[in-house]
Amino acid sequence: MAERSYDFLMPSVNFFGPGVISRIGDRAKMLGMKKPVIVTDKFLEGLKDGAVEQTLDSLKAAGVDYVVYNNVEPNPKIRNIKEVKKLYEESGADSIITVGGGSAHDTGKGAGIILTNGDDITKLAGIETLDKALPPLIAVNTTAGTGSELTRHAVITNEETHLKFVVVSWRNIPLVSFNDPTLMLDVPKGLTAATGMDAFVQAVEPYVSVDHNPITDSQCVEAIKLIETSLREAVANGHNLDARTKMVEAEMLAGMAFNNANLGYVHAMAHQLGGQYNAPHGVCCALLLPYVEEYNIIACPDRFAQLAEIMGENTEGLSTRDAAELAIKAMKQLSEDVGIPHSIKEIGAKPEDFELMAENALKDGNAFSNPRKGTKEDIIKIFQAAYDAE
Ligand code: NAD
């Protein structure tokens, strides 16, 4: 076996399962939180008996004071993290609790970063750039999902340049995450599909990444199997608690996998679509996935042939290449079954933007772990294939 060494990051404490949200007040108190800023959006804040209401009830019961920031935007912007920082300082807060999906968690992480590491977050884009600890952070997750509640990534959009960038640091990992599937029962079909496909891509990309290892492999395999058997069910009937629970397990496994084995061109390119057209992240990932992986096959055909089997395809008697192609077909079928659109045209992509987006994708931190090393022209061709798809 080849010699290898790597840092393996695990989230510290994770509460999982129906009803765990009721324990957040006690846990906040245990961490010494006296006045957290609750980072969320207006929709979630207004949900009767939703994640925010249940979080606040539990904090009140534990005697923990709080202040609410309710202006998180999808693909969170620099202005959001600055607003949270201002509220944190003006209200005398001492910690942060994010309630929502990836956008809420990344807003909370981004605010934490500029509270302790300096005001200009664009200078901190990249890997392990943070010198100082963030304020104590708890993440209550409501989508399955990005994995952001337990990852070291903070994905922020610069609203002036439309560039989405990532600050990757072990210091971003929340101290505690809550994944309570009962908070996800009313997630609408489209959002269930988009976030579920994000989790799927976050299991596929680390599986074929140059940084994969036996620990991340086992996480990816289990995540893919869970998604293959439960995403369609969660989309078909959101109140299927078993399917929701399996999707949470899958997104946590995928989050742990990519926290360590990293991602690839799907994410590097999806960040360009998200930044440029403010499109939902999971949809961007799902639309690009088959075209990026078709391009990647020659780098590691065996891994793709294994993916076909993991997805439940019968590869008996097939050549490695044909089995690998079957994996791409199965990915397209999953997207189709959960109602993802077919072409990046449908989210507003324009061919005249491909050149600049390709240049920026190759600079995105996720590009470096992709199994095949591409040129700008290769990336433009992949954008074009995802655009021409019918
Ligand atoms: P999101 O957080 O942007 O939320 C999308 C919408 O869903 C919001 O309007 C929100 O109000 C709504 N919503 C959330 N939970 C809900 C619930 N339980 N019921 C009903 N509606 C609900 O969506 P997301 O896909 O979770 O996050 C996407 C963001 O996360 C992107 O910016 C992406 O780049 C980022 N991301 C981060 C990481 C990371 O590790 N930091 C990983 C992948 C993606």
d(CA 303, CA 264): 15
- Ligand 1 centre from 325 Cα, in Å? 31
Q: Give me 27's structure tokens.
A: 């846990």
Give tens-digit pLDDT for 9-40: 777 789 999 999 999 999 999 999 999 999 99
Does domain 189-388 correspond to CATH entry 3.40.718.10?
Answer: no
3-class SS of residue 141: strand
Question: What's the pLDDT at 2?
Answer: 53
Give tens-digit pLDDT for 67-106: 999 999 999 999 999 999 999 999 999 999 999 999 999 9
Question: What's the pLDDT at 1?
Answer: 42
Parts of the chain belonging to CATH 3.40.50.1970? 13-184
For residue 270 and ligand 1, the question of a CB distance below 6 A is answered with no
Answer whether 287's CB lies under 8 Å from 340's CB.
yes
Query: Quick one: average pLDDT of 352-358?
Result: 97
**Tell me, which fold does domain 13-184 have in CATH?**
Rossmann fold (3.40.50)
- Ligand 1 centre from 173 Cα, in Å? 17
Parts of the chain belonging to CATH 1.20.1090.10? 189-388
- For residue 182, pLDDT beyond 50: yes
- Ligand 1 centre from 378 Cα, in Å? 30
Residue whose CA lies nearest to ligand 1 atom number 25? 195
- With a CB cutoff of 8 Å and minimum separation 6, the contacts of 89 are 115
Q: Give me 328's structure tokens.
A: 């791409």
Query: Quick one: average pLDDT of 274-278?
Result: 94
- Ligand 1 centre from 319 Cα, in Å? 39
d(CA 43, CA 88): 21
d(CA 124, CA 246): 35
Most informative mutation of 277, 281, 284, 340 for ligand 1 (most atoms within 8 A of CB): 281
For residue 183 and ligand 1, the question of a CB distance below 6 A is answered with yes
- Ligand 1 centre from 330 Cα, in Å? 25
The 3-state secondary structure of 266-297 reads: HHHHHHHHHHHHCCCHHHHHHHHHHHHHHHHH
For residue 44 and ligand 1, the question of a CB distance below 6 A is answered with yes
